[in-house]
Amino acid sequence: MYKCIEKFLKKFNRNTNHIIVNADALYVSNNIDRKPLKKAVLVGINKYDPVLRADLHGCVNDVKNMRNLLITQFGFKADNIRVLTDFRATKKGILERLHWLIDNAVQGDELFFHYSGHGSQVRDRNGDELDDALDEILCPTDLNWDDPLTDDDLATLFRKVPKGAYLTMFCDSCHSGTMTRGLENPNTKKNGCHTARYLEPPFDIKARSVDVKLPVRTIGAKQNRKSSQNHVLISGCKDNQTSADATIGNKPQGAFTWAITKAIRNNPNITFKEAHKQAVHILQHGFTQIPQLSGKKSLINRKVFGGPV
């Protein structure tokens, strides 16, 4: 595309009295002047390193469910949705797609990041010194405990969202080992045993925080001391709970993704605040997890994804 623009400019400059500086200027200008877009990055990871014995079952279905919702209800074009699943959902791959989502954003853009997979919690190192807090992390398929996908990685990207663009993150994972066993659904036994979407760190990593009380930096919520959270974040459970990888309607899927998409489909004109409230209500029938909502009042009271199309 870039070479085509250059050829056009050379021919244009020869045949007219107009002056155009270069192709880069035209390319950047077109990006600034373009109409707002709806863009999404959807990540679902069932497959992990066999050594971890940590495979899940419903995360890819979560992505399919969410993609269908965005396209059929909210006018997202397929070309503006990036999907990563299983062994393609590496740390590098996820960050590259997030750069695609955010780097060229303009005012009015509707940006969405959905993650379904394992989460965890680690105490990071700054050189030889241990950090003064626990970091919640996402667990890509190629998880490296010494270089995980942290709240710092996301915060660095999220701060680039320009004023007037709207970023939303749904996180269907959990970051606490308080309840790491399968969770029996007391009301719907046909759904069987649920798997927690949490990965236990190896002991040499976990030992950094054993018997030490530390604050927790929530994934996707960190910004900086001078600015408040500039996006909407809805996560699948409280900090001391786990998000269930369940079987619902004979289909493996994340309980949170199932509940939030059901709430939105029931009323596509719903606000983020109301969608969260409805998801909490839906999950009360058979699940113990309680989804969490954070963001500025003006953002959480917006219609989900800018409203249906």
Decide which of 162 and 23 is more confident: 162
Same domain, 43 and 19: no
Annotation marks residue 285 as catalytic: no
CA distance 65 to 45: 14
118 is catalytic: yes
Please tell me whether residues 96 and 13 are part of one structural domain: no
Among 114, 174, 175, 231, which one carries the catalytic annotation?
174
pLDDT for 214: 61
75, amino acid identity: G
Span of 23-37, 178-192, 277-291, 293-307 with lowest mean pLDDT:
178-192
CA dist 150 → 77, 133, 220, 229, 306 (Å): 29, 12, 9, 16, 28
Do 66 and 2 lie in one domain? The reply is no
Q: Note the pLDDT tens digit of each residue in 97-135.
A: 999 999 999 999 999 999 999 999 887 665 544 565 677
Q: What is the mean pLDDT of residues 198-219?
A: 66
Question: What's the whole-number average pLDDT of the chain?
Answer: 81
Place of tokens 């899927």: 253
CA 45 to chain centre: 12
Q: What is the band of 187 on the pLDDT scale with cuts at 50, 70, 90? A: very low
Q: Is beta strand 149-150 parallel, antiparallel or unpaired with respect to 129-138?
A: antiparallel
Record the tokens describing residue 118, joined without a space.
Answer: 């394992």
When mean pLDDT is compared over 1-10, 92-101, 219-228, the highest value belongs to: 92-101
Residue 5 and residue 76 in one domain? no
Distances, alpha carbon 117 to alpha carbons 19, 33, 160, 188, 199, in Å: 52, 37, 25, 23, 10
In 3D space, the residue among 285, 218, 274, 275 whose CA is nearest the CA of residue 246 turns out to be: 285
CATH assignment at residue 179: 3.40.50.1460
User: Are 184 and 246 members of one domain?
Assistant: yes
Query: What is the C-alpha separation between 217 and 204, in angstroms, rounded?
Result: 21
Q: Which domain holds residue 236?
A: 38-306
Per cent of the chain over pLDDT 90 is 58
Alpha carbon distance 137, 158 (integer Å): 15
**Residue 209 near residue 133 (C-beta atoms within 8 A):** no
For residue 256, give every residue at least 6 positions away whose Cβ sits within 8 Å of its Cβ, in sequence order, or none: 170, 172, 235, 236, 237, 243, 244, 279, 283, 289, 291
Q: How far is CA 129 from the centre of its chain?
A: 29
pTM of the predicted structure, to 2 decimals: 0.80
Strands 232-235 and 244-248: unpaired
Q: Check whether residue 7 and residue 152 sit in a common domain.
A: no
| Nearest in space to 114 (alpha carbons), one of 84, 135, 159, 144 | 84
pLDDT at 13 over 80: no
Q: Do 226 and 127 share a structural domain? A: yes
pLDDT at residue number 115: 97
Kindly report the number of other CB atoms within 10 A of residue 268's CB atom: 17
Domain count, the chain: 2
In degrees and rounded to multiples of 5, residue 100 shows phi and psi of: -60, -40
Q: What is the pLDDT of residues 70-100, one digit of tens each?
A: 999 999 999 999 999 999 999 999 999 999 9
144-153, 169-178, 238-247, 263-272: which is most confident: 263-272
76 and 22 together in one domain: no
Exposure on the CB side of residue 112, measured as CA atoms within 13 A: 27
Q: Are residues 141 and 20 in the same domain?
A: no
The model's pLDDT over 28-41, given as tens digits with 9 standing for 90+, comes to 434 557 899 999 99
What CA–CA distance (Å, rounded) separates 179 from 160? Answer: 35
**Residue 92: Cβ-neighbour burial (10 angstroms; 0-12, 13-18, 19+):** exposed
pLDDT class of 52 with cuts at 50, 70, 90? confident
Looking at residue 239, its pLDDT comes to 79
| Residues forming beta bridges with residue 294, ordered by sequence position | 233
Residue 43 has pLDDT above 80, yes or no: yes
pLDDT greater than 60 at residue 190: no
Do residue 71 and residue 195 come from a single domain?
Answer: yes
The CA distance from 105 to 108, in Å, is 9
My answer on whether 53 and 179 are in the same domain is yes
Do residues 146 and 252 share a domain? yes
Q: Answer yes or no: is pLDDT of 233 > 80.
A: yes
Given the residues 118, 194, 231, 276, select the one marked as catalytic.
118
Share of the chain above pLDDT 70, in %: 72
